[in-house]
A and B are shown apart, each in its own frame.
Chain A
Amino acid sequence: MNSNDDANEPKPVLEAKVQAELGKKLQQVYSDVISEPVPDRFLDLLQELENSSSTKR
């Protein structure tokens, strides 16, 4: 592990491209889940919670 690396001088050109690529990949990893429609189980849960909320005193 390079100990002289961290937090001091990023190498600008490389850094920017690499970070952009990482950021893109990171978002891709989760984009599938994020673009899925909300599963029924959660819609049902919210509905249930709402129903029991409104009958509470």
Chain B
Amino acid sequence: MSVPDTFKTELLSVIPNLRAFALSLTKTADKADDLVQETLMKAWNKHHLFQAGTNLKAWTFTIMRNEFYSQMRKRGREVQDSEGVLASQLASHPEQQGHMDMQDFKAALEDLPEDQREALVLIGANGFSYEEAAEIVGVAVGTIKSRVSRARSRLVEDLGLDEEGEFGPDAISSHIVGSVALDSRR
């Protein structure tokens, strides 16, 4: 059974997103592109299982994710990385002016537990709905929501975004008392 042109075209169009997702899983560009390669081959070989008109992006993301985790299992590696390289270099508090530094953000992202980062990336960077993300990951919608929520809370904490002077008046920060001295921020 030959592969329809539309399949090939659509597959081509999701490659950039697949590369980005692969990067969030593997963290290095080389491994990311290798993962994309394997995913494309698998997707191609399974094209007859894909229902035309459904979400190809979600479908390929699922294939990629399964491939990634099955490789991890084979290599006997801990799925959850303890520390990303950047995380260990993360300064303990963010930029003075309240402008979040990209380096800090990336490090904080890397510092998240695997499942939280994945959920956040699917929802926040790939525009999937909670239902779609839940299907890709193979968990309940509620689980995805709670992972995203925890990821966000953790980023807020790691990046010190809950401190006064960043975003709002006293009333807000009084709810979220940090141990950081406020005057050191000036």
Contact = CB atoms under 8 A, between A and B. Distances in A.
Interface string B124-153: 110000000000000000000010011011
B79 interface: no
Given A30-B125, A42-B36, A22 B168 contact: no
For chain B, the bracket of interface size reads 35 or more
A29 B105 contact: yes
A38 B18 CA distance: 11
Contacts of B63: none
Overall SS of chain A's interface: helix
Contacts of B106: 29
Contacts of B102: 25, 28-29
Contacts of B24: 30
Interface of A: 2, 5-7, 11, 13-14, 17-19, 21-23, 25-30, 33-36, 38-39, 41-43, 45-46, 49-50, 53-54
